[in-house]
Amino acid sequence: MILNQSMVAADAFEKHLVNRKRKKHWGIKAAGFTLMLTSMVDMFSMLVVFLLQTFSSSPEILVTKGVELPNSITPSQVREAPVLAISSDGNLYLDQDIVGKTEDIAKKPNGLLKKLNVIKKNWAKSHTSPFTGEINLQADKEIKSTVVAQIMGILTNSQFQSIELAVVGHR
């Protein structure tokens, strides 16, 4: 069958209706595509960079299991240093590894001193700056201050002069 051009061609009124329908829907579709995502992506990018810089500038230390830190009104920033912890059951931990009972270490500190010397030697290998003599001390809030003072005495005799006591800060 051969189609006649008059059969295929639409008349003017049909073209008018089709164009009218297209124009009617075109306005609605165009309004949906006016959302500009560029500024929102820029904002989220800046937010991610801000969060990364904020959390990377303040190191966090892991609180040893069995240690409930005392509260403080005036906390300071945590600095990267070895962590010595005295738990509520009297165990002494150096960087999450148990060293022994606090009473035994106070009487014979040689085991603790050897581990501290290893930390001082390894510090130079893993850091660009020389060892500064800093250590973070975590003591459970139920531990007597005399026990903490004994451990601090051992630390100062082992060239750890800057002892930071770990506390929970409240504002």
Between CA 65 and CA 153, with CA 67 as vertex, the angle to 5 degrees is 120
Query: Does residue 4 lie within any of the structural domains?
Result: no
Integer Cα distance of 112 and 86 in angstroms? 13
Cβ-Cβ contacts under 8 Å for 85 (sequence gap 6 or more): 63, 64, 67, 92, 93, 94, 137, 138, 139
Residue 5 covered by a domain:
no
State which residues form the domain around 47: 10-56
Euclidean distance between CA atoms 137 and 151, whole angstroms: 9
pLDDT the model gives residue 61 = 65
* Same domain? 89 vs 120: yes
Q: 73 with 35, same domain?
A: no
**In terms of domains, do 129 and 110 share one?**
yes
Dihedral angle computed from the Cα positions of residues 68, 80, 111 and 153, in that order, rounded to the nearest 10 degrees? -70
Which residue is associated with the tokens 């960079």? 49
* CATH number of domain containing 85: 3.30.420.270
Are the C-beta atoms of 136 and 82 separated by less than 8 Å? yes
Q: Is residue 1 part of a domain?
A: no
pTM for the complete prediction?
0.57
* 79 and 141 housed in the same domain: yes
User: Do residues 129 and 163 both lie within one domain?
Assistant: yes
Look at the block and give the residue holding tokens 């002069």: 161
Q: E strand or H helix at 52, and its extent? A: helix 38-57
For the stretch 115-153, pLDDT in tens is 888 888 887 777 777 778 888 888 888 888 888 888 888
**pLDDT of 16 higher than 70:** yes
Predicted confidence (pLDDT) per residue in 81-128, tens digit = 888 888 888 888 888 888 888 888 888 888 888 888 888 888 777 777
The reply to whether 18 and 70 lie within a common domain is: no
Domain count, the chain: 2
| Mean pLDDT rounded to a whole number for the chain | 76
